[in-house]
């Protein structure tokens, strides 16, 4: 049986481009690579055009569309982010079925997923498939997200209401509570609890692939390595820094990466001084 790597990016062209850049980095004659794509939310004609270009240029990378899905129905008004997380979670059964089908004709060596696709982790693990998160942001954000479950336990009110409160997160500069990423701000919306679930599952992965490099974020890299940002410092997934993965804008029409071109150029300039 052939060996393959299956990848599952979150919905939207930016997440797809980032995952394809990783696929291009690790492609080898030994493995085929299949990207599972959602259908029904954040779809855009640019995605199909991009897929055609990548398929023509890289024969070892293929794409498989999951069945159409819609977000859950909410009884109250919710944000686009809430609907987005709901949509991704509702794709979990389709992913499980597809992994089972692929496993009948190939050995799935790894399942690489976006953080927001963490709800698919359990089905892959139950099949004995190693699961890796591809973290498209940098090490500082990885540290923050890994520490989020502890922040949640230490506070009883929504961070959006904690005006003037400063948070201390390993590997990060002091951060005002109200400046946390939007999905983390309000405990009264579904997206907050989805985000908490995603972050809680981070340590359970076989590894985390980060689109950054150690010299750019030494404090955050050190905090992650020491386990200071994880609930259990003795149970930390292996972290691989493979950045910067920077898509060429003229190829994809989008630039999607945790390390921006500007960040990278600034680092190069500082190293040459």
Residue 230 lies in a domain: yes
pLDDT at 267: 43
Instruction: Look at residue 244 in the predicted model and tell me its pLDDT.
Output: 87
DSSP at 264: H
Number of domains in the chain: 1
Statement: the pTM of the whole predicted model exceeds 0.85: yes
244 in a domain, yes or no?
A: yes
Task: Show the domain range for 33.
Answer: 2-139+203-272
Alpha carbon distance 198, 116 (integer Å): 6
Name the residues annotated as catalytic: 15, 114
With respect to residue 193, please indicate whether it lies within any of the assigned structural domains: no
Domain assignment present for 180: no
Least confident of 6-15, 196-205, 256-265: 256-265
Does residue 173 belong to any structural domain of this protein? no
Q: Mind listing the pLDDT tens digit for each residue in 220-245?
A: 999 999 999 999 988 899 999 998 88
Domain assignment of residue 217, yes or no: yes
Q: Is residue 160 part of a domain?
A: no
pLDDT of residue 264: 42
Question: Region 95-121: what's the mean pLDDT?
Answer: 97
- Read off the pLDDT of residues 250-273 as tens digits, 9 standing for 90 and up: 554 444 444 444 444 444 444 555
Determine, yes or no, domain membership for 79: yes
Strands (E), the chain: 2-8, 31-37, 61-65, 106-114, 131-135, 166-167, 175-176, 207-210, 238-241
> pLDDT above 90 covers what percent of the chain?
79
**CATH number, domain containing residue 217:** 3.40.50.2000
Confidence tier at 198 by pLDDT (50, 70, 90): very high
pLDDT, one tens digit per residue, over 133-147 is: 999 889 999 999 999
């Amino acid at each position: 049986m052939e060996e393959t790597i299956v990848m599952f990016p979150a919905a939207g062209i930016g997440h797809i481009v980032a995952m394809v850049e990783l696929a291009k980095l690790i492609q080898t004659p030994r493995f085929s690579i299949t990207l599972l794509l959602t259908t029904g939310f954040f779809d855009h004609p640019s995605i199909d055009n991009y897929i055609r270009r990548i398929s023509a240029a890289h024969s070892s990378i293929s794409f498989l569309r999951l069945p159409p899905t819609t977000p859950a129905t909410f009884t109250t008004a919710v944000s686009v982010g809430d609907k987005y997380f709901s949509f991704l979670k509702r794709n979990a059964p389709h992913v499980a079925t597809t992994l089972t089908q692929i496993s009948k004709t190939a050995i799935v060596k790894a399942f690489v997923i976006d953080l927001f696709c963490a709800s698919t982790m359990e089905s892959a693990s139950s099949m004995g498939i190693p699961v890796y998160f591809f973290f498209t942001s940098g090490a500082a954000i990885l540290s923050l997200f890994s520490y989020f479950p502890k922040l949640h336990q230490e506070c009883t009110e929504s961070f959006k209401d904690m005006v003037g409160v400063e948070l201390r997160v390993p590997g990060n500069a002091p951060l005002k509570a109200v400046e946390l990423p939007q999905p983390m701000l309000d405990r009264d919306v579904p997206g907050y609890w989805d985000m908490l679930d995603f972050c809680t599952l981070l340590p359970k992965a076989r590894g985390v692939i980060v689109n950054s490099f150690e010299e750019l974020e030494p404090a955050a890299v050190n905090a992650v390595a020491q386990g200071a940002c994880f609930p259990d410092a003795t149970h930390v997934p292996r972290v691989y820094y493979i950045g910067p993965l920077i898509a060429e804008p003229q190829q994809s029409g989008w630039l999607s990466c945790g390390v921006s071109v500007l960040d990278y150029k600034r680092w190069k300039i500082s190293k040459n001084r």
